[in-house]
Structures are given as C-alpha cells and as structure tokens.
Structure 1
C-alpha cells in the first residue's frame, strides 16, 4: 500500500543555490516530476531538482499554511532550516522513494 501524505518541500539547484518551496499531496511523485523537468516553470527554468528538506502534515490546509510561512522567510532563514535538519545536505529523494512503496 502506498503512503501519501501532504507535505511541504524545498528543492535546491545546488549548495547555496536557487531554492524552491512547494506543497503537494504526493511528495515522491511531485519530486519526480520536478527532477524529470516534466512541468514547465520555475524549477525547470532554473534547474532546481535536489530535494533538501521536507515536512509531512496530517492535512493539506496545515501543509499550505506552512508553505506560506516558509515562503515569507528570508533566504538566510531558509538556509538555516535546511542546515539544521539536513546538515550534510544529503539528497533526500531516496528517503522519499523508500516510504512511497
């Protein structure tokens, strides 16, 4: 059985590169779409494909509220959040794929 939960995520183009914050109901599927450049837009244009942070929520309204909050953060605060939760800047895609199945 596939586990699907609302999530907020941050993608990066590289260490200290361009950041993108999004919200989705299926994190693994959405990250895959970004990484394969299947959707035109910001992430495709700027090569933002590396999953560096994500947070799961029980409801989509909670996830959307957190997305709005994160988008208001200054860049330094966004980088600090990533650094705190992912200090080695591991690519988290394999973590997401593991619980998707």
Structure 2
C-alpha cells in the first residue's frame, strides 16, 4: 500500500489511517472499516472514511458540521433518484455541474 500524506484542513495536523473504533468505539457500524483521522483527534474532530480496497480517502477530512452538510446533501440527492425523478447518475451529474467539478 502506497503511503499518502493527508493534512487536516481545519488545524493543519497530519491525518493517520486508523480503525473505525478510534472514532466510534465499540459502536462502530463496520468494525473492519478504516478512517483517516486528524492527529489531534478528538480535540480536532476531523476524519473521513477510507475505501476498503485501496485505502484511499473517500473525500476530504471533515468536522462534525461539514459531515452533517454532506449527509444532508446525500439525503436530498438520493431522494431524487429513489423517487424516480431522475437516475442516480443524473442526480450526481447535476451536483457535479452545479458545483463546477470535473467528471
């Protein structure tokens, strides 16, 4: 596995790949999951999940407020495709275009 360097966008500390138990304790939804966690955690509450196969981060480290916003965005987008308004691919493409993000 190639080492990657991730810096916390909130405090500037280095993030480390850790087991889910570091964030969730014994209540981890997936005990085998890994997270990139800020080196100052829990004082700095930033983390992001890692892809199971590649161990690459699933996004950027986020604090509680940003994680809530991301969750809310997913709920809104998911309702578009789950209610048949558009396909899942179309919903996420709409988000991508509206934010000016690359494909």
Give the structure-1-normalised TM-score: 0.32
Greater relative contact order, per chain length (Cα 8 Å cut-off, separation 6+):
1
> Between Structure 1 and Structure 2, which shows a larger proportion of helix residues?
1
- The normalised TM-score by structure 2 is 0.31
Max Rg structure: 2
